[in-house]
Amino acid sequence: MRYLKYFAITLAVIVVDQAVKMLVHYQMDFGTAGQIKVLGDWFKLHYTTNPGMAFGMQLGSDYGKLILTSFRLIAMFGIGYYLYLLIQKKAHTGYIVCIAMILGGAIGNLIDSVFYGVWFGNAPYDAPSPWFHGQVIDMFYIDIWEGFIPDWVPLLGGSYTALWPIFNIADASIFVGVAIILIFQKRFFDEEGKRDAEQKSELVSGS
């Protein structure tokens, strides 16, 4: 039962993420034409796709997307196993919840990469196969600033872009999970260290 409640968080993230992406795909027009203003020009719903990693970056080869998707698949199993171990050793509840959220976000975007090229036909035109080449659907657009980034800026230089990327539920889940871990890392890991010390002390006293 203790495993189920944490993996249920992962499942909830996946379901909500995919449901929102389905609604956006079937109910919104792509790009600026279908854009919906929620809070003026600051927060908008904007249907777009991301063929690569965060901020639209891509691996520079014909099989870059396949490599990226394969890496996501391996990472998914790694995070899932790590979550299992955390639950087993009774790590801090908050930390386990954060890892469950990160796992849910990772799987949510992995589904897009593996299947959307086939389901929605959104793989790049030059993709060797629609499988494993699907593009991730993004929709939440926080438009803090738009402008041209100078050429000298690494990775993003020489392009006209927004300060804040367009993202989805999966991205938000990963971001929030990582942010909470960073903010509360002292509490999460100090308590885990104390618990390990207590367990070792009990083993020594009982021997």
CA 188 from chain centre, in angstroms, equals: 22
Q: Which two tokens stand for residue 190?
A: 């100090």
114, 127 contact by CB (below 8 A): no
What's the CA gap between 23 and 124, in Å, rounded? 22
> What does residue 89 show for φ and ψ, rounded to 5 degrees?
-90, 5
> Exposed, middle or buried, 181 (CB in 10 Å: 0-12/13-18/19+)?
middle
23, 29 contact by CB (below 8 A): no
CA 176 from chain centre, in angstroms, equals: 10
Q: Is 138 a catalytic residue?
A: yes
Choosing from 151, 171, 190, 196, which is the catalytic residue?
Answer: 171
> Exposed, middle or buried, 207 (CB in 10 Å: 0-12/13-18/19+)?
exposed
What's the CA gap between 78 and 84, in Å, rounded? 10
Choosing from 41, 126, 138, 190, which is the catalytic residue?
Answer: 138
β-pairing, 136-142 vs 43-50, is antiparallel
Catalytic residues, by residue number, are 138, 171
